[in-house]
Amino acid sequence: MSELLNTLMQDARVWQGHRHNKIATPSEPTGYQVLDNQLGGIGWPRGALSECLVDQPGIGEIHLLLPLMQRLTGTGKTVFWLNPPHTPYAPALAREGINLDQVVMIQAEDEGDFLWTLENCLRSPVTGLVLAWPGKLATRDIRRLQLASEAGSNVCVLFRERRHTDQNSPAALRLELTPGDRQDLKVNVVKRRGSWPGQRCSLAMAHRADLAFRDTPQVVQGPWHQSRR
């Protein structure tokens, strides 16, 4: 029994309010040292869901993922954009060193297609990162996506409204994002696996408007019509 308890205590999925645990889990650095410090040096978890909670798109949340997109597309991994609220501005992404040949944008027609597509993106061996805007999402759906993320061992970031902050979620990392006064992005760590929340920081987002969504030709237009299993 004692061995079982010791195993559970060492498992990062068991939260211990009185202590921090150093989590040995696959992860990708965010590219922002101040944020990585607040996340215990872990960054974006792989094989787990992350959530960015925002009031509205275009406050700099895409900048938060730029270093990761640049790094992954440079190694030949694919970055999927699923149901973004507007078309990403491809020239600005290219200026940031992102290989657009590895960027795929998909528009799913309904909730069922969205979940099916997202699951398949997460399970694909070519995937490095999935950015998804799910809209309404039940807790059971998040758990379903968590299993797919574990199978694919890639990074998945769900962009959701801040009103979902108090919703119970199995996501390993939850970040509340709000715009600052000086072209910066304020980050509040709502949840991170293996430790307590509440860490805060501000990230400089120079030329934040350059990556605002714009009505430009799409990188890739979906949806993909595939038969379901």
Averaged pLDDT, 18-40: 77
Averaged pLDDT, 34-47: 89
Q: Which two tokens stand for residue 180?
A: 């600052």
What is the per-residue pLDDT for 98?
A: 94
With CA atoms as reference, report the closest residue to 69 among 153, 7, 155.
155
In a domain, 205, yes or no: yes
In a domain, 225, yes or no: no
25: exposed, middle or buried (Cβ count in 10 Å: 0-12, 13-18, 19+):
middle
Displacement of CA 224 from its chain's centroid (Å): 22
In a domain, 8, yes or no: no
The DSSP 8-state label assigned to residue 210 in this structure reads G
Percent of the chain with pLDDT over 90: 48
What is the per-residue pLDDT for 100?
A: 94
pLDDT band at 18 (very low <50, low <70, confident <90, very high): very low
In a domain, 204, yes or no: yes
Tens of pLDDT, residue by residue over 93-138, are: 999 999 999 999 999 988 889 999 999 999 999 999 999 999 788 8
Compute the mean pLDDT over every residue in the chain, rounded to the nearest whole number.
Answer: 81
Pair 65, 131: CB distance under 8 Å: yes
Tens of pLDDT, residue by residue over 66-94, are: 999 999 999 999 999 999 988 888 888 99
In a domain, 217, yes or no: no
Q: Which two tokens stand for residue 96?
A: 């940031």
Q: Which two tokens stand for residue 112?
A: 């069922």
Whole-angstrom distance, CA of residue 119 vs CA of residue 146? 9
Angle at 202 between CA 197 and CA 208, to 5 degrees: 130
pLDDT band at 26 (very low <50, low <70, confident <90, very high): confident
| Residue numbers of the domain that contains 93 | 26-211
The CATH number given to whatever domain includes residue 180 is 3.40.50.300
Task: Please tell me the total count of domains within the chain.
Answer: 1
